Every structure is written in C-alpha cells, then in structure tokens.
Structure 1
Amino acid sequence: MKGRLADALVVLTRPPGRNEPLERRLADRGFEPLAMPVLSISPLSGVQALPRPADHDLIVFVSGNAVSAYFQQLAAADELPGTWPSGTLVAAVGAATAGAIARTGRVPADLVLHPDEADAQDSESLWKVLQPRLAPLRAALIVRGQNGREWLGQRLEQAGLRVTRHAAYERCAVDWPRQQVERLRAGLEAGRGVICLLTSVHGVQAFIDNAARHGLLSACRGFHYVVIHPRIAGRLQSSLDVPSGTAGRLAVTICAPRDDAILQAVTSLASL
C-alpha cells in the first residue's frame, strides 16, 4: 500500500458486535481500524399479535438484523416452528441476509429466495426473483425495523397480495465515545486520511449527527467513504450538503455488503 491513503484511519460505523471480525482483518492487513458505531440494533420485546410463519405464503427479511430479531421473538413467544411450514417461502434482499436465514437452521434452503450475488442486493433485484413465484401467493409478511422503504411492499400489494409489515427490531442512535473521537481528531490533525464505512441509509443521519455534535462535520466532507448501495451514497451526498457536480462530489466507493468485498474496497483505496 503506497497510496496517499496507505496510513488512513478506517472508521467502522456498523452496530456494536458487527465490527470486530472486520477490525481484525483490517489490522492484519496493516490498517488502523476505528470502531465508531452510529446505531445499536435491539429486538423489540412484548410484541402484541406476533405474526406466525404458517399464516403467510411469503416472508421477506430486509436484513440479517430482521432475521435474528424475528427468530428471537418467535422463540420468546414459544412460536418457533419445529418444522418450517412447507407452504411458506422466505425471501432475502441479498445473499448476506440469506446467509443469516441459513444460520438459523430452521428454513429449508429450497424455500429461500434471494438475488444472485452478481446482482444488486436490494428490493428491486429481489422483486425480479419474486415475480415468477407470485401467482399462487396470497399473504406476505415483511420483517424490518420500526420503519423502512415501502417500495417492495407496494409492489406486492399491487400484485394482489395482502401485506403485513412487522417491526422486529429498533434502531437507536449511539453517541461516539470520547476516546474514539479523540483518536479520530488526532489522526486528522496529523494529516492522515480517513476511510469511513457506512452500511445503511438510517446510519447516515446518525453519522452526520455524531459528526456535528463533535465538531467534525466539516472534516467529514474530506473523508473517503465505502458504502454498500447507491442509495446510501445519495443520502450521504445530500446530508453533507455537497453539490452534485463533479467538482464537489464526495469520494465514495460502492461495494457488496460482505466483509471480503469491504476489505478489498479499503485495500484498493489505500493503494491509490
């Protein structure tokens, strides 16, 4: 790594518990990772009328967090099926989420639908996968956080399905620890570059709020960002009030939402 970002700090903003494996891999490559989560994810408890798998022809999980939270809720309510209902398909917005479904050990692989890893990992790609399977389906369940995009749910409703949106987890903003802020500030004062990972649209606002709270908002416009979807890049661009013209555009790299892809993106930036 001989580029101008070879000694960059790598800021990881994923929720607590999600950064450690990538931290280790980055450190092994000679980077200095800095875990600064902007959101925490917690399953919602005490849910009334928890939707059951057998009552739906299709269950869509929007993220790995949705998978783990929903299965925790089912277990807590003693509603976890011993055998997954054969008439209930399960869909994931991407291969990473499909991996989280597989790790539950509850859903047969032939019932799980998701976009190919070569395609975009989002609702639009999943819709293309779902369309040929919709004809016999009547009821769909979308498992997500307290809120989320309505695009896929609206498409399913337009196709004639009854759609239930279930909030399985909540997102809470996390304030950066002072020690981490001071490490970041010291790096900036020493002239080091910063590569920052952002993995959700919701996390962008929490990131901006933290940066503003600690007087780092102006510096953030000079960071190099790694994101996992163009929507995140767009939200970041508008949130930092950076003009959309080429001269003012943020430095953003888009990659797949897998640790190996993120590591490759960071390594590539460091070599520039």
Structure 2
Amino acid sequence: MIGWRLLLTRPADESTALAAVLAGAGVFSSSLPLLEIEALPVVGVQQTIIQGLDAYCAVIVVSKPAARLVVEQVARHWPQPPRQCWFSVGAATAQILAGHGLDVCCPQEGDDSEALLELAQLREAVARPDARVLIVRGEGGRELLAERLRASGASVDYLELYRRGLSDYAPGVLAQRIAAERLNGLVVSSGQGFEHLRQLAGNAWPELARLPLFVPSPRVAEMARAAGAQTVVDCRGASAVALLTALRETRPVL
C-alpha cells in the first residue's frame, strides 16, 4: 500500500487513532477534521425514551459518539440496564457498549447498515409481534435501517443525542493541504462528512473530485457519484480494517 497519501476527515480523536493504524501499514495520512460532535440536551421526548428503554426489543447504536452518549444516559436513569438486545453497526461501537455491561451484537463481516440488517440476531429480535426498535444516532442519517425495519413490521423510534458541525476553516485550506502534502486520496466516514468535504472544497471541488474517494457505504458512494466524484471506493464500513482492505485493492495515483 506504499504510495497512498490520504486526507482523513473524521473528528480529531478518531482521525488520530486511524492515522496510527495507517502509519503501521505504511500509509501516510493528514488529518483535517470535518465533523465536530456537539452533544444535544436530553430533555422532553428524548428523556422519556431513555426512561422507557425497556419497552424496546432491540436498540441499535450507529456510531461511537452515539454509544458514548447513550451509555451515560443509561447509567444515569437505569441502576441496572434493562435486559434487551443491543446492536451496533461496527465493532468499535460494540466495544463501547459491551464495556458498560450491555449485551451487544454486531456484524462480523462488513460494518454498514446492510450487514447489520442481515444479522440473524436482529432478525430474530424484531420477528416478534408488535416489535419496537430504538435507533440511537446523531441528527439525521441511517434512514435505510428504519425503512427496512418498518417494512418488516417493526415500529421504529429515534433517539438523537448529538449533531455534527463543520469546523471553522479558512477558505482554500482544503485544496492547499492536498497540494502541499501531495495527497492522492480522500476518506470520509459518513454522508454528512462528504457534504462537509464538498462544502469546504468550494470552487475547487471539480478538481478534487478527480481524486479517489473512500466512503463507508453504498449510500454515501451514491451521494458522491451524484456530486461528480470520479473514482469512488465503497469500503463497506468505516473501520480501519475496511479502509485498509479497500486500499490494498485500489491502485494509488502517484
């Protein structure tokens, strides 16, 4: 994989962890976080959902920030967490939940919505009559999960615990970073991350759209292609393992 020089756009702490893994595999990376996590106040409907957590046969947590925030709320309102099935899209999110004593399952191969929906444990959990599912997430995203679960007969509620903001950068900083460090690949971890990338690129987007773009799912791949990205690589997950696998299978432009 020598030859790849990647721009990472995850929140700062996640980019730091990913950069370390990439460096160990001989991949150079440069971090320009495009997502800032801002926790939302848990009041009103959100608080009612937490207090009535035991009404759900399955709880799906879609990201590491969602996992960190929801375990805080569970600890605050439930001295003993209710016994139910918890699910995550990726293994890193599952580790956070399991570390707080929750019974969690996640796909062994692939860490996206499609892989989770194929999980036998999730299908079994929602097969019961009047199944209720809670999806814990940030504002927006992961609509495919709710659509498919509702189509199977389950009712679905959302618990939104954070929003993702765009960091404040000077105009032109993205193109300047790519040119200065001779970067030849872009990495985004979500649809909103891609939207922020395109927004920050501004008038430089048509040129930057020529670079290989690594995305976590078919949904984000479709967004990127519709926006003009010329080489989109679907990693089928946002984990370091998924990215490394995609890098091995894609030839860098030197």
**Shift in Å at residue 177 of structure 1?**
5.8
Task: Name the residue aligned to 1:245.
Answer: none
Task: Name the residue aligned to 1:107.
Answer: 102
Question: Superposition pairs for residues 34-183 of structure 1, below 5 Å?
Answer: 34-49=30-45, 50=47, 51-52=49-50, 53-75=53-75, 78-79=76-77, 81-86=78-83, 88-103=84-99, 105-108=100-103, 112-115=104-107, 117-118=108-109, 120-128=110-118, 129=120, 130-133=122-125, 134-135=127-128, 138-176=131-169, 181=174, 182-183=176-177
Task: Name the residue aligned to 2:195.
Answer: 205
1:71-130 CA-partner distances (Å, limit 9, x unpaired) = 23444xx21x232222x2112233343233223x2213xxx2333x22x43333323332
Kindly provide the amino acid, as one letter, of the partner of residue 80 in structure 2: T
CA RMSD of aligned residues (A): 2.8
Gaps of 5+ in 1: 243-248
Kindly provide the amino acid, as one letter, of the partner of residue 123 in structure 1: S
**Among the aligned pairs, what percent are the same residue?**
27
User: Which of 4, 22, 46 does residue 26 from structure 1 map onto?
Assistant: 22
2: CA distance between counterparts of 1:122 and 1:90? 16
Kindly provide the amino acid, as one letter, of the partner of residue 68 in structure 1: R
2:236 paired with 1:237: no
1: CA distance between counterparts of 2:227 and 2:171? 23
Kindly provide the amino acid, as one letter, of the partner of residue 257 in structure 1: A
2: CA distance between counterparts of 1:254 and 1:261? 5
Q: Any conservation in 2 of the 1:198–1:226 contact (CA below 8 Å)? A: yes
Kindly provide the amino acid, as one letter, of the partner of residue 204 in structure 2: L
1: CA distance between counterparts of 2:162 and 2:154? 24
Q: TM-score, normalised by structure 1?
A: 0.77
Task: Name the residue aligned to 1:185.
Answer: 179
Q: How many aligned residue pairs are there?
A: 245
Gaps of 5+ in 2: none
Q: TM-score, normalised by structure 2?
A: 0.81
Q: Structure 1 residues 202, 28: CA separation in 2 closer, same or farther (over 3 Å shift)?
A: same
1:162-214 CA-partner distances (Å, limit 9, x unpaired) = 42211111111224467964332324xxxx451111111121111100111xx
